[in-house]
Amino acid sequence: MEKMNYKIIIQYDGTRYDGWQKQGNTANTIQGRLEAVLSRYAGTDVEIHGAGRTDAGVHALGQTANFHLAQEADTQELQAYLNRYLPDDIEVTELSRVPERFHSRLNAVEKTYRYRVETGGRKHVFERKQIYRMDTAVPALDLEAMKRAAAVLEGTHDFKSFCANKRMKKSTVRTLKRIGITRQGTEYIFDFTGDGFLYNMVRILTGTLLEVGQGKRDWNSMQELLDAKDRSQAGFTAPAQGLTLVNVRY
């Protein structure tokens, strides 16, 4: 019998979770929490497929996932059920029936991540878990230098220097369609849109661009970094808390 395929869009604060992906050594993952509630609803084990495996401490505004059920469900009723039993830091914002062949990860064509950095010492009381506060207030970052460096990184490249997985066997070539950098007072916002991202890639790109902004690296050394294909040549890995998966396009 054909199973029904459902797509959900989820937002979550990843602060207290061990990332998206279910792991044998912990039940404290976003995927694990969703599957537990879905399985209770369905009366049988339900597996959920996410568009991206956000790391421990990383957040999402528009993570996308899909799952199959043996019986047709009322989408509004199912969404309400999920939100009733999920923790308060996970919410299903949309739920819809989709064609059988839809797969949230394999069919994704573009993802956008946002990284937020506070440089002036502000606490951002209500958003403190979603912003990386640099250790101490730093002088204003060189926005133009960071933008010039970002322009070199845009496009299709081998991003091996920006991948934390040293044992990566698959291709490390990705297309970065856009890196937008804006300043709001003492906060800097980095938006990365691409066809896919390597392990820790956005956080390493952010760390590298912050080093350019602080004058620790020349903006015109980015091509050299790409050519090196060596993680040790790139910048530091910015902390997980500043990163949010904004949306996934299909």
Long-range contacts of 90-95 (CB under 8 A, 24+ apart): 90/10, 90/11, 90/12, 90/13, 90/30, 90/33, 90/34, 91/10, 91/11, 91/12, 92/8, 92/9, 92/10, 93/9, 93/10, 93/11, 93/62, 94/7, 94/8, 94/9, 95/6, 95/7, 95/8, 95/9
Q: What are phi and psi of 51, to 5 degrees?
A: -70, -30
Strands (E), the chain: 4-12, 48-50, 59-69, 90-98, 110-118, 132-133, 155-158, 173-184, 187-194, 243-249
Which position has the token pair 């938006």?
A: 191
Report DSSP state, residue 33: H
230 is catalytic: no
Q: Which of 13, 18, 45, 55 is catalytic?
A: 55
Rounded (5°) CA angle 211-216-218: 90
Kindly list the catalytic residues.
55
